[in-house]
Chains A and B, each alone.
Chain A
Amino acid sequence: MIDSNPFAELAAFISPTAMQAYVVLMVVLVAVGTILDMLHKKSGQYFFENARRAKRNATRTLSSGEKGALALKTLGKEVLTSGEFNNPKRRISHLLTMYGFIIFVVTTAILIFAYPTPDDPAPTVVPLLWHLGAAMLAFGGYWFWFSIRVDVASEGVKWYQLNGRGDLFIVGLLGMATFALLWSFTRDVDTLGTLFFVLFVAFSTLLFGSVYWSKFAHMFFKPAAAFQKRVIKADGSRENMPAVYDPSDPDVQARFPDVPAYMGPNPPNMGLGIKREAPSHF
């Protein structure tokens, strides 16, 4: 079951062209939603104004090589490994959801565009990955919904309470992944299979059609903001932040004589501070 292409079987009822047109429509909806979101929130304008201000306050100019290195670091930390999350549970849940979504969407496109009919069977690995992606997405999403979102330290929302716009994205993701799996497993059961397929399409449309109102566009904005944050640190503009001082540096000690008075000439490693003990809320 999980090694066969569900869309190829579907081709008996829905033409591959219609399926491909639906995928293209979803891509268009995402693009339009993101552009509208940018125009409405003026996030693009804010970002460029912020970058200009940072450039004015910069104490040094970054070479293109340095910028490239910062982009690579951003890619490695904030984009690929979600390293900015301090809560490991939230980070793992986010990574599962993110990679699940990417695997699911890419394999869906491959299955629909490259292997649309049963005459041209997809390599086993592709449908396997499609199911794996949906399962990762569902696992990460339900973890967030039933454990992280209900935690009073983060949002403290009961699992049965919907918060409208705030939850559009996660509801769309969860509905799409869950009903995709259920449809795949009940393909042989006529009514149930059809019902789950209709729900799968409905939630997919909700997810990709609600970009303007949901949190979907964060996947485009987040890397840009993370890169900018690294740039302001490297070029000295610092966004009004204080410098990162080394209290063992004699110059720093001369400027702030309180510090050696309290901590001695060689301040010890102070440990993890607030991170030393995970908060327990239950």
Chain B
Amino acid sequence: MPTFVYMTRCDGCGYCVDICPSDIMHIDKVTRRAYNIEPNMCWECYSCVKACPMDAIDVRGYAEFAPLGHSVRVRRDEEKGVIAWRIKFRNGEKDMELLAPITTKPWGKHIPQLADVPAPSQAMRDSQLLFNEPKYIRLDEGDLHTLASNGLVMKEGVYY
């Protein structure tokens, strides 16, 4: 279900452009509103949906998946740490709401504050590893962090 933008809600802040991993959220230069330039290339990660502070981005179902058509609206509340989805079919038969935690830990507690992280060294730049590979996420010394080494068990919906 690729994303699209409600023009009347978008204020062109650019958070979706900033967060989109496939760089397909762009700002229209005439209307100064965000839009998905290539829905077919959308990874459907919904990062933009969750990031949008104006609740302006929603998702569109594929016709074969939802032949009746439906609207999916999303509202996230960072203070409460929840994201709510409302799915409404066009014939009104299915109208459901879902609620999920955005994360199980307050922001910054178990997620590194990137602004405080030292700039990557030359060795890191030359490495084939990405900045967010476990080796670099680990801010202390030691071996690679794994869920087991941290005494964690994989749990659905939890952001480690």
Taking beta carbons and an 8 Å cutoff, which residues of A are in contact with B?
84-87, 90, 151-157, 163-166, 215, 225, 229, 239-247, 252, 255-256, 258-259, 262-263, 267-277, 279, 281
Determine the distance from Cα of A207 to Cα of B28 in the docked complex, in whole angstroms: 21
CA A246 – CA B84 in complex, angstroms?
Answer: 11
Minimum distance in angstroms from B102 CB to a CB of chain A: 6
Restricting to B68-115, which residues have a CB under 8 Å from any CB of A?
71, 73-82, 84-86, 88, 97-104, 106-108, 113-115
> When chains A and B are docked, how far (Å) is the Cα of A281 from the Cα of B51?
17
Q: Determine if B73 and A270 form an interchain contact, defined as CB atoms under 8 angstroms apart.
A: no
Pair B107/A166 contact, Cβ less than 8 Å: no
Q: Could you pull out 22 A-B pairs where Cβ atoms are within 8 angstroms? A: A84-B54, A86-B13, A86-B53, A152-B17, A154-B27, A163-B29, A166-B31, A240-B86, A242-B84, A242-B98, A247-B81, A256-B99, A258-B99, A259-B99, A268-B81, A270-B80, A270-B81, A270-B102, A270-B103, A271-B78, A279-B14, A279-B15
Contact A244 B99 (CB under 8 A): no
- Which B residues have a C-beta under 8 Å from some C-beta of A? 8-9, 11-15, 17-19, 27-32, 50-51, 53-55, 71, 73-82, 84-86, 88, 97-104, 106-108, 113-115, 155, 157-158
Complex contacts, A239 vs chain B, CB 8 Å: 73
Given known contacts A244-B75, A245-B77, A270-B78, what 12 new A-B pairs fall within 8 Å (CB)?
A86-B11, A163-B30, A166-B29, A240-B71, A245-B82, A263-B104, A267-B81, A274-B19, A274-B53, A274-B78, A277-B113, A281-B18
> Which label, helix, strand, loop or mixed, suits the secondary structure of the A interface?
loop
Nearest residue in B to A90 (C-beta to C-beta)? Answer: B13
Report which of A153, A245, A268, A271 forms a contact with B108, defined as CB distance below 8 A: A271
Tell me how far the C-beta of B75 lies from the nearest C-beta in chain A, rounded to whole angstroms. 5
Lowest 10 CB-CB distances: which A-B pairs, in order?
A270-B81, A273-B78, A153-B14, A242-B84, A242-B86, A271-B107, A166-B30, A256-B99, A154-B14, A279-B18
A262:B101 contact, CB within 8 angstroms: yes
Residue of B nearest to A279 (CB): B18
Q: Which of A156, A242, A279 contacts B97 (CB 8 A)?
A: A242
CA distance A276 to B112 in the complex (A): 11
CA separation between A255 and B30, bound complex, in Å? 44
Q: Taking the nearest CB of chain B, how far is it from the CB of A208, in angstroms? A: 20
Which residues of B sit under 8 angstroms from A240, Cβ to Cβ?
71, 73, 86, 88
Chain B residue nearest to A152 (CB atoms) is: B17
The minimal Cβ–Cβ distance linking B24 to chain A, given in whole angstroms, is: 14
Instruction: Output the least CB separation between A282 and chain B (Å).
Output: 13
A156 to B81, CA, bound (A): 32
Determine if A270 and B99 form an interchain contact, defined as CB atoms under 8 angstroms apart. Answer: no
Residue contact A247 to B80, C-beta cutoff 8 Å: yes
A164 near B30 with CB under 8 A, answer yes
Closest CB-CB distance, A148 to chain B, in whole Å? 9
> How distant is the Cα of A243 from the Cα of B84 in the complex, in angstroms?
7
Q: Are A241 and B32 in contact (CB under 8 A)?
A: no
Q: Which residues of B contact A263 (CB under 8 A)?
A: 81, 101, 104
Q: Is the CB of B115 within 8 A of A241?
A: no
Residue of B nearest to A280 (CB): B115
A68 to B82, CA, bound (A): 31
Contact between B8 and A225, CB atoms less than 8 A apart: yes
Q: What's the Cα separation between A272 and B86 when bound, in Å? A: 23
Query: In the complex where A165-B30, A258-B157 touch, is A271 in contact with B106 (Cβ < 8 A)?
Result: yes
A165 to B28, CA, bound (A): 12
Residues of B within 8 A of A273 (CB): 76, 78, 102, 107
A270 touches B13 (CB 8 A): no
Candidate in A154, A164, A241, A273 with the most chain B CB atoms within 10 angstroms:
A273
**Inside 8 A of A225's CB, which chain B residues have their CB?**
8
Chain B residue at smallest Cβ distance from A170: B32
Q: Are A259 and B100 in contact (CB under 8 A)?
A: yes
B-chain residues with CB within 8 Å of residue A277 when the two chains form the complex: 113-115
Asked whether B85 lies within 8 Å of A269 as measured between CB atoms, the reply is no
A154 touches B99 (CB 8 A): no
Q: If the complex has contacts A240-B86, A241-B75, A276-B107, are A267 and B101 also in contact, measured as CB distance less than 8 A?
A: yes
Q: How far is the CB of A219 from chain B (nearest CB, A)?
A: 14
